[in-house]
Amino acid sequence: MDTSAAPADEQEKGLPLWMPLLGLSVALCFTLFVGVRVFPTLGALLFPPQPPLPTSGEVRLLLTESKGLGKDEWLYGTDLNACEVMRYYADVLGDCRYDPSVNCNVGTGIGLSVSRGVPIPVGLCIGKQVIGAYSVTWAVQVATNYVKDGQTHFRITREVSN
């Protein structure tokens, strides 16, 4: 008689093969669940969104400022008509308010005739973008009638909050 063979009950000691696989599957699902929520926020912190700029015409950066934690400003100059710039930001951001003295609804011009060099405020556009757990508020102020650095200037403000 061979005594080296153990009974069947003693040979099946240890974990079944499916248990570690199940544990790895649960860990992978948890990692994906957390990663989908965390990675957009980390990406926005490491690479903050840049301001949206008109694609037509020449746009020049004139000034950039950090106004504090989570708040930045850029000043741009362009030869584009101020009403064209306002229409672009109305499409991108949505909520725009025009200065009552400016007539951007008729043709492509500004309804005022003021000597060159006296800046004319045209309007303000505001929009919000959600990135992960944070929201980014964009505000664009447009003015025209400048002599230097293009006829239209627009100031973009980015404010990040949670």
pLDDT tens-place string over residues 34-61: 888 778 777 766 777 889 899 888 899 9
pLDDT for residue 148: 80
Q: Given the structure tokens 């400003």, which residue do they identify?
A: 73
Q: Given the structure tokens 């974990």, which residue do they identify?
A: 15
Output the tens digit of pLDDT for each of the chain's 162 residues.
Answer: 555 555 555 556 778 888 888 999 999 998 888 888 778 777 766 777 889 899 888 899 999 999 888 889 999 999 888 889 999 999 999 889 988 878 776 555 555 555 666 788 899 999 998 887 788 899 999 998 887 877 899 999 999 887
User: Angle at the Cα of 140 (from 139 to 141), degrees rounded to 5?
Assistant: 125
* Distance separating alpha carbons of residues 24 and 19, to the nearest angstrom: 9
* Distance separating alpha carbons of residues 132 and 4, to the nearest angstrom: 62
pLDDT for residue 3: 55
pLDDT for residue 113: 54
* pTM given for the model: 0.70
pLDDT for residue 46: 75
* Distance separating alpha carbons of residues 76 and 53, to the nearest angstrom: 9
Average pLDDT, the chain: 82
Domain 59-161 part of CATH 3.30.310 = yes
pLDDT for residue 102: 80
